[in-house]
Structure 1
Amino acid sequence: MGFILWIIIGVVAGAIAHRVLNSRGGFLGSLIVGLVGALLGGELAHMFRLNVTGGPLDQLVVATLGAILFLFLWKKLFS
């Protein structure tokens, strides 16, 4: 169940990031952006010693913020 929840959170976070930054991305694009964002957001939260070990809502917020940061940097570097 944990893996499936991770996929769902990744897709939702990626879709939110695409919407916030007004970029295009289908299911696979949202999944990739969301999962990379979740990893990035988790690392940043760990570096800043933020306690976000709560439930799925905390994970979604961290993944979404990471996905927005990742997509922003991606667009700046490659557009």
Structure 2
Amino acid sequence: MGIIWYLLIGLLAGFLAGQIMKGRGFGLVGNLIIGVIGAVVGGFLFGLLGFHGSGLIGSLITATVGAVVLLFLLGLVKR
């Protein structure tokens, strides 16, 4: 059941990141995929900083931050 929650949180984070980064997204489906990948990026970045998001809200914040960072970086490369 853990992988399903991980995917759902990543999908929601991708949607939120797309809303936060207006104009830098890749469409709804692209942003959802970015959200799942961003969840991994966010976990890595928060780990480097010594933070740990626990629970549903913490995981969602971690994944959303990772997705926003990933969208930002991909937006730079896309240009």
Consecutive unaligned residues in structure 2, runs of 5 or more? none
Q: Distance in 1 between matches of 2:6 and 2:68?
A: 17
Q: Distance in 1 between matches of 2:26 and 2:48?
A: 30
What RMSD in Å do the two structures reach over aligned CA positions?
1.2
SS class of match (2:27): coil
Q: Please report how far the alpha carbon of residue 44 of structure 1 lies from its aligned counterpart in structure 2 after TM superposition.
A: 0.8
CA deviations 1:15-58 (Å, max 9, x no partner) are 111111113422x3133111111111100111111132x11110
Q: Does the 8 A contact of 1:37 with 1:67 survive in 2?
A: yes
Q: Report what 2:67 is aligned to.
A: 67
Q: Report what 1:32 is aligned to.
A: 33
Q: Report what 1:9 is aligned to.
A: 9
Consecutive unaligned residues in structure 1, runs of 5 or more? none
Identity %: 35
TM-score by length of 1: 0.87
2:19 paired with 1:19: yes
TM-score by length of 2: 0.87
